[in-house]
Amino acid sequence: MREALIAAAFDLFLERGFEQTTVDDIVAQAGVGRRSFFRYFPSKEDVVFPDHERCLKDMTAFLDASADTDDPVLRACDAARLVMRMYAENPTFSVERYRLTKQVPGLRVYELSVVRSYERTLASYLRDRFTVRGDGSLRAEVIAAAVVAAHNHGLRAWLRTDGRGDAAEMVGSALDYVAGAWTSGQSPGAAGPEEEDDVVVVITKRHTPMWRVVREVEAGLQGE
């Protein structure tokens, strides 16, 4: 029933346009009653993003299951990968939705609120993990925003391949970029030999002996 409603809605949205399609049109096409629609979807917008609620729950559960030994930034990146996988599971649907969303301002706004809910979930997790830091709250918000931006950058690149590219690789390399900037020993700038500003970033604790710093720098220089 739920799948039939989603399929009917997308057929109509692509055929007539989102604004021109009513909930009555969708239920007539799916051959079910109006009440059935609202049992599954609070609004017409929700049928366009049917799996985000489940994905947000999965993300929350994944973050709640984080061990103290997990690097918080890497864990947040892994949590973002859950969203990528939801898109990659159904490339045709994801690409159709991408095209539809580009055409309908109301859906873009709805999508912003979906994206914001992921960002808040990541920020909340990071804030808990950074409580010992004086800058914990700010750091959590900034890293959550960076993770979401990188994820979306990789995801859009994948959607532009019409879902034919490797979503895990495209989103993964974008997330690695952020992880590199906010975890130790990796460089946010060093993505390849063609780069102009080929830099190495070393993050070390104050009071670390100089010989250890040098060893870390050398490891960073040889790392790629």
99 sits in which H/E element: helix 91-103
CB of 120 to a copy of itself, least distance (A): 11
Query: Please, what is the Cα angle at 123 between 121 and 128, to 5 degrees?
Result: 100
Is residue 134 helix, strand or coil?
A: coil
**Interacting residues toward a copy of itself by CB under 8 A:** 108-110, 112-113, 116, 132-135, 137-139, 141-142, 144-146, 148-150, 152-154, 174, 177-178, 181-182, 184, 187-192, 194-208, 210, 213-214, 217-218, 221
CB of 88 to a copy of itself, least distance (A): 19
Give 28 or 138: the residue with its C-beta nearer to a copy of itself. Answer: 138
Identity of the amino acid at 59: M
CB of 84 to a copy of itself, least distance (A): 15
Give 61 or 109: the residue with its C-beta nearer to a copy of itself. Answer: 109
CB 201 within 8 A of CB 187: yes
Give 36 or 204: the residue with its C-beta nearer to a copy of itself. Answer: 204
CA 9, 97, 171, 116 torsion-angle sign: negative
123 sits in which H/E element: helix 105-129
Describe the crossing of helices 52-64 and 105-129 by its angle, rounded to 10 degrees.
10
CB of 138 to a copy of itself, least distance (A): 5
Give 96 or 141: the residue with its C-beta nearer to a copy of itself. Answer: 141
CB 167 within 8 A of CB 156: no
Q: How many CB atoms lie within 10 A of CB 18?
A: 20
CB of 210 to a copy of itself, least distance (A): 7
Give 89 or 198: the residue with its C-beta nearer to a copy of itself. Answer: 198
